[in-house]
Amino acid sequence: MSNFRMLCGTTAAIGFMSGSAALADVTADQIWNDWKSYFETFGYEVTASEARVGDTLTVRDMRMMMPLPEDEGMVAITLGQIGFVDRGDGSVSIELPSPVPMVIDVEAEGEDPVKVSLDYLNTGLQILATGSPEEIAYTYSADEIGARLTEIIAEGEVKDVGTAELNIKSVSGASTVKVGNLRDLVSSMTTGEISYAMDFANPEDSSEFFNLTGGADGMSFEGSTTYPTDGSFDPENVDAMLRAGFAFDGGFSYENGHMNFEFEDGSDQAKAQTSTESGVFAVGMSPSGLNYDIMSRGLTAAFQGGDLPFPVDFAFAEAGLNLLMPIQKSDETQDFAMGLTLGDFTMSDMIWGMVDPAEQLPRDPATVALDLTGKGKLSFDLFDPEQMEALERGEIDMPGEVERLDVNRLEVTAAGASLTGEGGVDVDFPTVMMTQGMQGTEGALRLRLSGANGLMDTLVAMGLVPEDQVMGARMMLSMFAVPGDGEDVLTSTIEVKNDGQVLANGQRLK
């Protein structure tokens, strides 16, 4: 089945109840009808019982059903009661009891049915919709919202699942929905303290268990999503979805995150604790490209057990990854980027003691960082299954072209030595492919290396590197580098010329 489709439907259901993804109109009936059309966008068939009393439309036993691909079965999500109240001033409030039961049924062909029951919890929840059918504004707030696992039925019996719950305090936010040929949703949200817990144990052996707890002091979210309304939302065909207008761009940020994990299964045991001062997770997809941006600051971690022979403790001042890449064929130049940051890495003295018991190496924080950007063209549609199969068969000779590559930052700093660099090259890709060499490429990379000789001397003194290998390394450095602006500093400028020449500090290498 499409896990993405099921996730969209389940998340949307929860989002409606927190207000962050709800759709509404100026009357209760219009709101409910629009909710149904929204879920149908994801491929669900929606049924429910409806009762109108005065200004309130009450919906009970809402059930969303979706067939699995290739007639392999059915997935159904059932919700409890939801109230839509006309306020008489053109606005509508959405009211939910607490708890609201939610049941997810999975009936796959040839397998036993699985039923997962949850309770959606809320305290002080208020959701208000205003505006017009073309543009609907939502505001919402709650003292606390949450979800709690109540039951799992599998293999024909109730499983003793233990505890699984999520709680979010001080929730507030707003959403704006525009409905036309496409459905545009722009949302923002902030929260207070977040906590989650999972505690499972083997009912037949209490020594076998899994425990996970964690949370954060607060979270914020901003994002936008565009959905096609013509029935073309199909996660099995992302390329068609994108061409129909699907796009999303959103990001979460959090403060003071923490997690504790413990696992035991017979002779296997493992524990872990992590904490972060702050973090960001952003992701976006549109016809113009796919992008990820993940960053944690003030990260500390401790692991023990499992296959580790000793406890492992380490920390980063900053750890992040970013990626931007085109996903559709284009004759126009497209941007791409990739970045990795592992900043100010430190590890425990126990780990250091295994490689350097005499403390001869400097134990200053280490950094590895790379920031690349560029321009190029993609010659196939990344999410088109037929084109991907053609690529795998070798029927697409040139998947893409690089026209420009910039090294905005290069850094490797560790054990008293540091290599930094920056530069860029222009690439005439057809010429490069035709000559199978460096012709058609022009640019330069500027490098600075400090502390290398001191590090090599220390490694020889420690007996980790033979003297003859160090001599060879020094000879290579003398060929490519010149003395820099301080003691034990070398610099080098590597140039590539359009005619294929390669130079180091003005001296021709090729």
Structural domain boundaries in the chain: 288-415, 421-510
Q: How confident is the model at residue 154 (pLDDT cuts 50, 70, 90)?
A: confident
User: What is the structure's pLDDT at 2?
Assistant: 47
pLDDT at res. 54: 93
29 φ/ψ sector (left φ>0, alpha ψ -120 to 50, else beta):
alpha
> CB-based contacts of 214: which residues, under 8 Å, 6+ apart?
195, 196, 197, 257, 258, 259, 260
Indicate whether 144 pLDDT > 90: yes
- In terms of Cβ atoms closer than 10 Å to its own Cβ (0-12, 13-18, 19+), residue 177 is buried
Spatial contact of 378 and 403, defined as CB atoms under 8 Å apart? no
Residue 244: count of CB within 10 angstroms of its CB? 19
* Calpha distance 422→350 (Å, rounded): 35
Q: In this model, does residue 139 exceed pLDDT 60?
A: yes
Amino acid at 199: D
d(CA 216, CA 296): 13
pLDDT for res 339: 98
Query: Band of the pLDDT at 198, cuts 50, 70, 90?
Result: very high
Average pLDDT of span 246-260: 96
391 three-class SS: helix
Please compute, for residue 176, the number of CA atoms within 13 A of its CA located in the half-sphere on the CB side: 6
**Stretch 304-311: mean pLDDT:** 83
Residue 144 near residue 171 (C-beta atoms within 8 A) = yes
- Summary mean pLDDT of the chain: 88
Residue 72's pLDDT is what? Answer: 66
Segment among 71-85, 162-176, 187-201, 396-410 with least mean pLDDT: 71-85
How many other C-beta atoms can be found within 10 angstroms of the C-beta atom of residue 360? 13
Q: Is the pLDDT of residue 17 over 60?
A: no
How far apart are the C-alpha atoms of 171 and 384, rounded to whole Å? 39
pLDDT of 193 reads 98
Tokens of residue 490, six digits? 């070398």
Characterise 473 by phi-psi region: left (phi > 0), alpha (psi -120 to 50), beta (else). Answer: alpha
Residue 51 forms beta bridges with which residues? 58
Alpha-carbon span 135 to 383, nearest angstrom: 32
Calpha distance 131→91 (Å, rounded): 7
| Mean pLDDT calculated for residue range 376-392 | 89
pLDDT of residue 26: 67
Is the pLDDT at 508 greater than 90? The verdict is: no
**pTM for this one?**
0.84
The residue assigned the tokens 């609907």 is 136
Distance of CA 364 to the CA centre of its chain: 31
Percent of the chain with pLDDT over 70: 94
> Which two three-digit tokens encode residue 450?
């400090």
